[in-house]
């Protein structure tokens, strides 16, 4: 670690936590928000439209990162993140609200790519993997805090969860105060052999892994606000606490991810994450008690902790200085593209039990495919 202060590390992690809340923060209060806004389209759009914005704008972030640099681009992303986020509480026109949530995704991908590029530049080797693991923990800790607070605030007023987005302004102050404006180039990212055919294949495998892992993981976020109240009579705060518990498990798992990689390798660790996804959704499908719901949450959280943070690190390792912004944008496209695609599950079936069974099957099938592909490229 290059003589970086604890305040700088805190800033990196705090800003990273903003990415998870872009859609999830309003999830526990989604039905009340839709009712009060009289939103005529699919309720889950309000959660996943920012993800579509990320997918659309991700390809522009690489060139912008080269032009403005990490510091300026991060600042340019945090301001609209806060303003567009809180604006959702006051927009009553469906089309303007759709545009607002979509553009919020554009601000989010700028924040995500910029902050990850900071980590890539400030850390190397095992320290970088540890920092990426901490970043994954921070993202999921944000999920714990923001989901719990979002559910609590939603019971007070449907508008209150939107105010959490104003944390972007606080993060802007921390960035200006504690993050360096200029960084030296990491020599470990300049190797030209990273542009080889084999490495390009690895980038593609990482992209599709992030896409499918987020489809599987985020499917819970768009179905649980409806499934849990209907099946187990959960309140909005109960739903928020349950979803926050999944994030808490992911935090613990991400902290152990570097050790798992040392023991079995990164590719096999990702595959193991998909196996846990399979187990989690099987338990969710057959749950008839709180105990089985808790076991399902544990397995789903482990699945996230062994996939997304590690895939983020793998994408950095597969990148050079020249293509880092593009590759990180591609990773963001996979992560948030998976979130957006999870929206369309309701067009397949409203029987969530059936959906969870199908997702469990797809998890183990894709895990098998990844086992083969990672053996070729890792």
Domain holding 233: CATH number?
Answer: 1.20.1250.20
Find, among 187, 160, 50, the residue nearest to 111 by Cα.
Answer: 50
What does the block give as tokens for 151? 């559910």
Find, among 304, 308, 285, the residue nearest to 246 by Cα.
Answer: 304
* Residues 247, 251, 253: CA angle, nearest 5 degrees: 110
Question: Among the residues of 123-196, which ranges form H helices?
Answer: 125-156, 167-178
Which residues lie below 8 Å from residue 304, measured CB to CB, with a gap of 6+? 140, 213, 217, 246, 250, 253, 273
What does the block give as tokens for 236? 């909005």
Instruction: Please report how the helices 266-286 and 197-232 are oriented relative to each other, as an axis angle in degrees rounded to 10.
Output: 20
Find, among 10, 71, 21, the residue nearest to 47 by Cα.
Answer: 21
What does the block give as tokens for 371? 């086992």
Cβ count within 10 A of residue 364: 15
What is the extent of the structural domain holding 239?
A: 8-181+193-377
Question: Is 3 a domain residue?
Answer: no
Q: Residue 2 has what pLDDT?
A: 52
Q: Residue 251 has what pLDDT?
A: 86
Which burial class, exposed, middle or buried, applies to 259 when counting CB atoms under 10 A from its CB (0-12, 13-18, 19+)? exposed
Find, among 319, 327, 374, the residue nearest to 194 by Cα.
Answer: 319
The overall pTM is greater than 0.85:
no
Question: Is 237 a domain residue?
Answer: yes
Contact 222, 44 (CB under 8 A): yes
Q: Residue 186 has what pLDDT?
A: 58
Number of domains in the chain: 1
Question: Among the residues of 233-289, which ranges form H helices?
Answer: 236-264, 266-286
- The CA–CA distances, whole Å, from 272 to 57, 192, 266 equal 31, 31, 10
Question: Is 2 a domain residue?
Answer: no
Question: Is 34 a domain residue?
Answer: yes
Give 75-79 contacts, CB < 8 A, sequence gap 24+: 75/172, 75/175, 75/176, 76/110, 77/107, 77/108, 77/109, 77/110, 77/111, 77/114, 78/15, 78/107, 78/111, 78/168, 78/169, 78/171, 78/172, 78/175, 79/168, 79/169, 79/172
Contact 114, 73 (CB under 8 A): yes
Q: Residue 348 has what pLDDT?
A: 75
Residue numbers of the chain with a pLDDT score lower than 70? 1-3, 184-198, 346, 377-378
What does the block give as tokens for 311? 């895939």
Length of the chain (residues): 378
């Amino acid at each position: 670690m290059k003589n970086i202060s604890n305040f700088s590390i805190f800033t990196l992690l705090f800003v990273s936590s903003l990415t998870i809340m872009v859609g999830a923060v309003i999830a526990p209060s989604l039905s009340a928000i839709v009712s009060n806004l009289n939103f005529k389209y699919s309720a889950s759009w309000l959660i996943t439209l920012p993800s579509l914005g990320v997918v659309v704008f991700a390809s522009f972030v690489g060139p912008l990162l080269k032009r403005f640099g990490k510091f300026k681009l991060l600042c340019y992303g945090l301001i609209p993140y806060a303003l567009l986020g809180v604006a959702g509480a006051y927009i009553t026109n469906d089309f303007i609200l759709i545009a607002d949530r979509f553009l919020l995704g554009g601000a989010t991908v700028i924040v995500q790519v910029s902050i990850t590029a900071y980590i890539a530049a400030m850390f190397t080797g095992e320290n970088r993997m540890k920092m990426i693991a901490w970043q994954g923990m921070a993202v999921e800790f944000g999920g714990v805090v923001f989901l719990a607070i979002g559910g609590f605030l939603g019971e007070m007023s449907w508008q209150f969860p939107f105010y959490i987005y104003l944390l972007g302004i606080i993060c802007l102050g921390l960035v200006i105060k504690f993050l360096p404006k200029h960084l030296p180039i990491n020599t470990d990212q300049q190797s030209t052999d990273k542009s080889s055919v084999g490495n390009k294949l690895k980038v593609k495998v990482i992209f599709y892994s992030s896409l499918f892992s987020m489809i599987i993981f985020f499917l819970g976020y768009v179905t649980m606000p409806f499934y849990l109240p209907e099946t187990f009579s959960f309140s909005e705060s109960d739903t928020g606490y349950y979803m926050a518990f999944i994030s808490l498990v992911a935090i613990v798992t991400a902290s152990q991810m570097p050790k798992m990689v040392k023991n079995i390798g990164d590719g096999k660790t990702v595959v193991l994450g998909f196996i846990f996804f399979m187990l989690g959704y099987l338990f969710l499908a057959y749950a008839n008690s709180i105990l089985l719901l808790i076991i399902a949450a544990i397995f789903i959280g482990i699945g996230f902790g062994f996939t997304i943070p590690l895939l983020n690190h793998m994408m950095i390792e597969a990148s050079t200085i020249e293509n880092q912004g593009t590759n990180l944008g591609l990773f963001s496209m996979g992560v948030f593209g998976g979130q957006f695609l999870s929206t369309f599950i309701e067009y397949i079936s409203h029987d969530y039990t059936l959906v969870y069974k199908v997702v469990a099957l797809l998890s183990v099938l894709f895990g098998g495919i990844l086992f083969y592909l990672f053996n070729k490229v890792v």
